[in-house]
Chains A and B, each alone.
Chain A
Amino acid sequence: MRLKRSALPLLLAALLPALGACATRPPADDPESVAEFRQNNDPIEPFNRGSYAVHQAIDRNVLAPVARGYRAVVPTPVRLGVRNVLANLRTPVILVNDVLQGEPRRAGDTLGRFVVNSTLGVGGIFDVAGNRLGVRGHAEDFGQTFARWGVGEGPYLFIPVIGPSNPRDLTGFGLGIAADPLVWLGQGATVDALTYSRTGATVVDTREELLDPLDAVERTSLDSYATLRSAYRQRRRAEIDNRTGGGTPSGFGTGFGVGPGEPSAPAGR
């Protein structure tokens, strides 16, 4: 997702009050509960739970209904095309990160996919590289690159609309926006329009993809906040080690940590 450039500092400033809302550290004479506190890595949990409540309100009233409408109205092949185009637009940033992580093979895959899908795939609408040539996409972002360079994740953060994150991944998310070639196109009404459409499409597409997994979490979890926190951090670790199946289309930043891993075809219903 591409925020308007001025929005990012605002977003970060909004996080500052978080410092005041610290979770109570368990007493030192209870080592198991201290261990769990460390493992959860969520020292500002009360603030994060507040953010989560805000997010859920936005989600229930706007994001989820729009995503459901999108699924109901737009036919599956069109949604797949949209997903592919958005994924193709993300490839340059993935390529940069493949290179920064010293992964020449994966960088080659990414570059090849970009060239083939942008041309034969008609601007990325069709994933020719994946479907015909068997070169599956994968995701990379600056947060993962930092991790590979040894940067720690920092405390867990939940940010409305963006979802689960942490200072490292959030910084990576901002860098991903700044590094996007669309930014370099300059300014002007056309670029702005492109940027906004792409941001909107990315949010809707990502939320549509997460409809089923997030519904399942809502339905089965006794504490969806804790479930998402745990799932995000485990999933992120797997992504950093490149243990996941392939490219996750989670276009908005690091997104919710619970989506299906492969760039999947939209659910046909």
Chain B
Amino acid sequence: MAPRRLLLGTVLALAASAGGARAQGADPARATRFIQSTGQELVAALNSNAPLAQRRQQVSAILHRAVDVEGVGRFILGRWWRQASAAEQQEYMRLFDETLIRNLSARFGEYQGVRFSLGRAQQRTEDDVLVNTIIERPNLAPFSLDWRVGDVNGQPKVVDVIAEGTSLRLTQRSEYSAVIQRNNGQISALLAAMRNQIQQLAAREGR
């Protein structure tokens, strides 16, 4: 009994030290500071009185700094990434990037007066940190949003956003894959749909 317990203890200790080593990449305190500062920048940009085009540029700059756009884009295309040609991959990344920014900027109006605060404690997952925030908008009930922060080349980056247990990147992967599948596995069909969506979003913004 005793040797077995000893063995178990050793294994646990090893696991803990391994975990400790890995956690350097995803340090909860650092991830929290990162989300706090990024969130403040984003809220300031959303609430500024600058013209729409300028605000979009500001938001775009913040997102490019804070989000692992490349990694998220690849994750969402999932198994189709390797089946895409180099040209398709490049075009997809360009469209994905624009979709991300447009989807947000099309809703700038809804986010007027937005406030955010850090919510309940962050938690560490295998190689990321989940940072919880509370988003408040005028006249609407506050809601909770979790930011998954990973470590990309030594820098903390947002890799996913989770609302009420629903991960944005998982949902979007399912959506994109459905579009490709329903078009006989053609990635070009997804690209066409994305292009069309960007046009509609641009039209909605009135420019």
Q: How far is the CB of A14 from chain B (nearest CB, A)?
A: 25
| A234 touching B171, Cβ below 8 Å | yes
Q: Which of A222, A227, A238 contacts B194 (CB 8 A)?
A: A222
Q: Which of A33, A226, A243, A260 contacts B174 (CB 8 A)?
A: A226
**B170-188 at interface with A (beta carbon < 8 Å):** 170-179, 182
User: For the complex, is A201 an interface residue (Cβ under 8 Å from B)?
Assistant: no
A225-B178, A231-B166, A238-B164 in contact; A267/B197 too (CB < 8 A)? Answer: no
Interface 0/1 of A154-186, CB less than 8 Å to B: 000000000000000000000000000000000
Specify which chain A residues have a CB less than 8 angstroms from the CB of B167 in the assembled complex: 234
User: For the complex, is B139 an interface residue (Cβ under 8 Å from A)?
Assistant: yes
- The CA of A32 and the CA of B144, in the complex, are separated in Å by 33
- The CA of A268 and the CA of B140, in the complex, are separated in Å by 7
| A32 touching B175, Cβ below 8 Å | no
Q: How far is the CB of B108 from chain A (nearest CB, A)?
A: 14
| B179 touching A268, Cβ below 8 Å | no
| A226 touching B178, Cβ below 8 Å | yes
User: For the complex, is A6 an interface residue (Cβ under 8 Å from B)?
Assistant: no
**B88-133 at interface with A (beta carbon < 8 Å):** 103, 106-107
How many residues on chain B are close to A (CB under 8 Å)? Answer: 29
A223-B179, A223-B182, A225-B178 in contact; A267/B139 too (CB < 8 A)? Answer: yes
Q: Which of B142, B165, B182, B194 contacts A243 (CB 8 A)?
A: B165
Question: What is the count of residue pairs linking A and B with beta-carbon distances less than 8 angstroms?
Answer: 82
| B175 touching A223, Cβ below 8 Å | yes
Specify which chain B residues have a CB less than 8 angstroms from the CB of A119 in the assembled complex: none
A226-B175, A234-B171 in contact; A269/B139 too (CB < 8 A)? Answer: yes
Query: Chain B residue with minimal CB distance to A267?
Result: B140
Specify which chain B residues have a CB less than 8 angstroms from the CB of A265 in the assembled complex: 139-141
Specify which chain B residues have a CB less than 8 angstroms from the CB of A220 in the assembled complex: 103, 197
User: For the complex, is B64 an interface residue (Cβ under 8 Å from A)?
Assistant: no
**21 chain-A/chain-B pairs, Cβ below 8 angstroms:** A36-B79, A221-B175, A222-B190, A226-B174, A229-B174, A230-B166, A230-B173, A231-B166, A231-B171, A234-B166, A234-B170, A234-B171, A245-B143, A260-B141, A260-B143, A260-B164, A262-B142, A264-B141, A265-B141, A267-B140, A268-B140
Which 7 residue pairs across A and B have the least CB separation, nearest first?
A238-B165, A264-B141, A226-B178, A230-B174, A261-B164, A268-B139, A223-B178
Q: Tell me the B residues contacting A by CB distance below 8 Å.
A: 79, 103, 106-107, 139-144, 164-167, 170-179, 182, 190, 193-194, 197
